[in-house]
Amino acid sequence: MSRILTLAAAQLGPIQKTEPRASVVDRMVRLMERAHQRGVELVVFPELALTTFFPRHYHEDIAEADHWFERSMPSPETAPLFAAASRLGIGFHLGYAEIAHEPDVAGIAWKRRFNTAILVAPCGQILLKYRKVHLPGHAEFDPARHVQHLEKRYFEVGDLGFPVIRAPMGKLDGINMGMMICNDRRWPEAWRVLGLQGVELVMLGYNTPTTNQDAATQTGAAFEAPHLRVFHSHLSVQAGAYQNATFAVATAKAGIEDGCELFGHSIIVNPQGEIVAQATSREDELITADCDFDQCRLGRTTIFDFERHRRPEAYRRIVDQIGAISPPVFIPR
């Protein structure tokens, strides 16, 4: 018996700085309607899907960036997404910038900012929330860069771990779903933490520039060709899916946004690591795939049967250490 769910990556073309939320939400609702016509049961939108990728814009006073953030979900501006989900009977994944008034680890409540994603059931209930853990870029204005990448300025490191939930979706009465956001996809640790919770579907959104400014601004760093940027993105998602026997939907923002190019190339990947659908434009574009979740079984009962084959006693460094430690130097006798 197969367990088939029809999935979509709803890639968004550029969102310029001046485009109002209402216009973006309208574009997203149109993608949901197209998805529904194609029999889709779950739609995955990109990271920070409601606005331009604002971490490229510097504000001396962080509070001046607050208008890019959502204070509640749903809100009057995002309610049409929730309404479309229940009208069309489809779930959705949404990335957005979140302001939360919550206590920190010391128990003190203050205004906290996160790069967040939620998974919403067709009924409109939020099933799962994730806050981005691996924040790339820098916290201060960097005069050496043509384009800033200020995620470390605007966001705190996510405090929810990498959660997975088992919930009904589409015709399936239970599927294990987890999330990560953009740069997380390059970290095998993130995939494995989801894998260790039996994840069957990983959803992630991304905003990735065609040019690696980090490489360009570091003295002596090698040039990274644009085609390798896409290759590394796909390599990471395909490896993560294969090594954890899970489907993955990786959805991009694409095209020239505020004068900066995002490379797009959204994909849906199966548990063998194969790309089963890929976006080819830099516009709003829907790609879909009928995914049989029984395909997750092969990997997890053979090569990646974690219970039988993992050796955590040999992996201590993964959690005990952050940066690399130089190995002992060979001294010839």
Which parts of this chain interact with ligand CDT (CB under 6 A)? 47, 136-137, 149, 182-183, 186, 206-208, 214
Residue pair 260/15 in contact by the 8 Å Cβ criterion: no
Q: Kindly state the helix (H) or strand (E) to which residue 130 belongs, with its residue range.
A: strand 126-131
Closest separation in Å from C-beta 202 to ligand CDT: 16
**Is residue 182 flagged as an active site residue?**
yes
Distance CA 52, CA 66 (A): 13
Instruction: Tell me which of 98, 129, 151, 182 is the catalytic residue.
Output: 182
Cα distance between the two ends of the chain:
64
Closest separation in Å from C-beta 245 to ligand CDT: 24
Closest separation in Å from C-beta 46 to ligand CDT: 10
Q: Report the residue number, 70 or 200, with the smaller CB distance to ligand CDT.
A: 70
Q: Report the residue number, 148 or 176, with the smaller CB distance to ligand CDT.
A: 148
Q: Which two tokens stand for residue 49?
A: 């899907």
**Is residue 19 flagged as an active site residue?**
no
Q: Report the residue number, 47 or 257, with the smaller CB distance to ligand CDT.
A: 47
**Is residue 47 flagged as an active site residue?**
yes
Residue pair 22/30 in contact by the 8 Å Cβ criterion: no
Identify the DSSP state of 215.
Answer: H
Instruction: Tell me which of 47, 70, 98, 285 is the catalytic residue.
Output: 47
Q: Kindly state the helix (H) or strand (E) to which residue 209 belongs, with its residue range.
A: none
Closest separation in Å from C-beta 190 to ligand CDT: 12
Half-sphere CA count of 92, side-chain side, radius 13 A: 32
How many H-runs (helices) and E-runs (strands) does the chain carry? Answer: 9, 14
Q: Report the residue number, 208 or 288, with the smaller CB distance to ligand CDT.
A: 208
- Catalytic positions, please? 47, 132, 182
